[in-house]
């Protein structure tokens, strides 16, 4: 959910607050700690570090022998610490959930006389399949896996509750959007 | 395929609870029956398991039409081949939990010691052996459901019918019950028909069947 560019840079910055590090170690720590679906690409790590450097949020603490960006050791600056602190203490924006692609699709389907119920049915099937996958991963995982999977499971469940509510009110919605 | 139902209809007075519901269940699979409250899930489960006689349509178990059986044969089939788990209240309050679990074997003519020894094993599988000597009224809701699952499985049924088995439990208790239910059912090779309106419970299934207004849609065929 928070996989935007902004969040990767804040996450790397947060890791650097723990201690100075190389890009390579940052990537490994990130993938291991947060179990992200897609591991960070090195290119993204170095591009992010370059941007943080430009913005004065990190410094290059030392460059070891040899060529290439991976030899640089990065450290967080005071401005970086302030930025991380501000980010951590700012609640995530719940408005995120107002930008709902599925709702848009349902409305467009109703307006174009397509079967909106079918869109919801297909989405339910995909959501449930995804829940099964997280559930399996959770059964065999450690505590980190369990909590990460629970996060996904509760969100998918919330989506499904919305989906059922909407499925029950399609006719009403159809009238409102002028079907 | 061990259970098949087609074109089921069932009314209660003016209420058409089922109007063309059907599904098939393969041996050993876990199928979630989902849908809004009042959509006919429980009525469908009762028709599938021979508790209720539908007004129309057929239910076939291993090639035998349940509608063609005498009440007596249908009861015997339910006792021997099916297991049941409901939301609550299915345990006999006067018996200990161990005696409750042993009951299906006792009713089938097994001696008390053998039945209770087997029941002890099942209580251990459901991680609730400590409840054995207590009465259902003295154990937690989660423990009672595990006892009920042990009782449903003890006679090695081919199909378990569960109606909102976690409906009265909180999230963590419900999750533990679902883990144990799904793993013991898979271990036993029984099929499970799992009625639930909760997605997190349905996530333990292999596939789902959606009921709406007394009709079923098979997700596999819908998308
Ligand atoms: N024994 C009964 N007598 C009268 N109406 C019933 C009875 N059982 C169910 N119904 C009605 O049939 C419909 C379907 O009920 P049910 O199968 O219990 O739905 P669900 O389990 O999906 O909530 C509902 O409208 C319910 O009120
Ligand atoms: Mg019900």
Among B11, B36, B42, B55, say which to mutate for ligand 1: greatest number of ligand atoms within 8 Å of CB. Answer: B42
DSSP line for chain A: ---SHHHHHHHHHHHHHHS-EEHHHHHHHHHHHH--SSPPPHHHHHHHHHHHHHTTSEEEEEE-SSSSGGGEEEEE-HHHHHHHHHHHHSPP-GGGGG--HHHHHHHHHHHTT--HHHHHHHHHHHHHHHHHHHHHHHHHS-HHHHHHHHHHHHHHHHHHHHHHHHHTTHHHHHHHTT-
Residue A33: per-residue pLDDT: 82
CATH code, A8-89: 1.10.10.10
Residue A99, pLDDT > 90, answer no
Residue A119: per-residue pLDDT: 86
Per-residue pLDDT band for A113 (boundaries 50, 70, 90) equals confident
Per-residue pLDDT band for A104 (boundaries 50, 70, 90) equals confident
Residue B220: per-residue pLDDT: 44
- Cβ neighbours of A135 in B, within 8 Å: 203-204
Residue B201: per-residue pLDDT: 96
The pLDDT of A136-152, averaged and rounded, is 92
Residue A3: per-residue pLDDT: 39
- Cβ neighbours of B179 in A, within 8 Å: 139
Tell me the pLDDT tens digit for each residue of B13-54.
999 999 999 999 999 999 999 999 999 999 999 999 999 999
Asked if A131 lies within 8 A of B179 by C-beta distance, the reply is no
The pLDDT of A44-73, averaged and rounded, is 86
Domain regions of chain A by residue span:
8-89, 101-177
Asked if A125 lies within 8 A of B223 by C-beta distance, the reply is yes
Assembly ipTM? 0.85
Residue A66: per-residue pLDDT: 64
Residue A69, pLDDT > 70, answer no
Q: Which of A13-27, A91-105, B84-98 has the lowest mean pLDDT?
A: A91-105
Q: Is B15 in the pocket of ligand 1 (CB under 6 A)?
A: yes
Per-residue pLDDT band for A1 (boundaries 50, 70, 90) equals very low
The angle formed by the CA atoms of residues B171, B207 and B90, to the nearest 5 degrees, is 50
Percent of chain B with pLDDT over 70: 97
Q: How far is B106 from chain A (nearest CA, A)?
A: 35
Q: Which of A15-24, A51-60, A102-111 has the lowest mean pLDDT?
A: A102-111
CB atoms within 10 A of CB A18: 9
Say if residues B185 and B78 touch (Cβ distance below 8 Å): no
Asked if B208 lies within 8 A of A125 by C-beta distance, the reply is yes
The H or E element containing residue B195 is strand B191-195
The pLDDT of A28-56, averaged and rounded, is 89
Residue B223: per-residue pLDDT: 35
* Dist. CA B37 → ligand 1 center (Å): 9
More reliable by pLDDT, B147 or A8: B147
Residue A2: per-residue pLDDT: 40
Mean pLDDT of the residues in chain B: 94
Residue B222, pLDDT > 60, answer no
Residue A35, pLDDT > 80, answer no
Question: Least CB-CB distance to A131: which of B36, B199, B222?
Answer: B199
Question: Least CB-CB distance to B199: which of A139, A156, A167?
Answer: A156
User: Is the Cβ of B199 closer than 8 Å to some Cβ of chain A?
Assistant: yes
3-state secondary structure of B196: coil
Per-residue pLDDT band for A176 (boundaries 50, 70, 90) equals confident
Atom index in ligand 1 nearest the CA of residue B37 equals: 23
User: Is the Cβ of A121 closer than 8 Å to some Cβ of chain B?
Assistant: yes
Tell me the pLDDT tens digit for each residue of B101-124.
999 999 989 999 999 999 999 999
């Amino acid at each position: 959910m928070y996989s935007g560019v902004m969040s990767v840079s804040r996450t790397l910055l947060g890791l650097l607050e723990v201690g100075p590090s190389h890009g390579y170690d940052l990537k490994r720590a990130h993938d291991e700690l947060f179990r992200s679906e897609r591991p960070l690409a090195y290119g993204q790590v170095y591009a992010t570090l370059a941007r943080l450097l430009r913005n004065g949020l990190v410094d290059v603490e030392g460059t070891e022998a040899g060529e290439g960006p991976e030899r640089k050791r990065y450290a967080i600056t005071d401005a970086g610490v302030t930025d991380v602190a501000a980010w951590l203490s700012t609640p995530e924006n719940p408005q995120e959930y107002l930008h709902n692609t599925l709702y848009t699709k349902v409305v467009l389907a109703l307006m174009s006389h397509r079967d909106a119920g079918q869109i919801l049915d297909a989405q339910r099937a995909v959501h449930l399949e995804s829940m099964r996958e997280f559930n399996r991963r959770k059964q065999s995982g450690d505590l980190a896996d369990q909590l990460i999977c629970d996060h996904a499971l509760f969100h998918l469940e919330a989506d499904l509750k919305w989906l059922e509510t909407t499925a029950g009110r399609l006719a009403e919605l159809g009238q409102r959007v002028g079907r | 395929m061990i259970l098949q139902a087609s074109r089921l209809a069932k009314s209660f007075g003016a209420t058409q609870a089922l109007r063309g519901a059907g599904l098939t269940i393969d041996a050993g699979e876990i199928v979630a029956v989902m849908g809004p409250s009042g959509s006919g899930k429980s009525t469908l489960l009762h028709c599938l398991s021979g508790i209720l006689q539908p007004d129309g349509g057929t239910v076939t178990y291993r090639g035998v039409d349940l509608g063609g059986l005498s009440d007596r044969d249908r009861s015997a089939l339910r006792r021997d081949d099916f297991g049941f788990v409901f939301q609550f209240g299915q345990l006999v309050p006067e018996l200990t939990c161990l005696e409750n679990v042993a009951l299906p074997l006792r009713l089938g003519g097994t001696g008390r010691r053998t039945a209770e020894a087997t029941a002890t094993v099942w209580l251990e599988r459901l991680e609730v052996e400590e409840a054995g000597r207590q009465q259902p009224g003295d154990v937690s809701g989660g423990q009672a459901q595990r006892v009920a699952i042990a009782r449903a499985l003890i006679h090695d049924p081919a199909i378990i019918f569960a109606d909102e088995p976690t409906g009265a439990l909180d999230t963590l208790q419900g999750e533990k019950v679902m883990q144990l239910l799904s793993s013991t059912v898979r271990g036993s090779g029984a099929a499970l028909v799992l009625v639930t309106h909760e997605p997190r419970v349905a996530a333990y299934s292999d596939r789902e069947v959606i009921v709406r207004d007394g009709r079923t849609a098979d997700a596999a065929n819908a998308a």
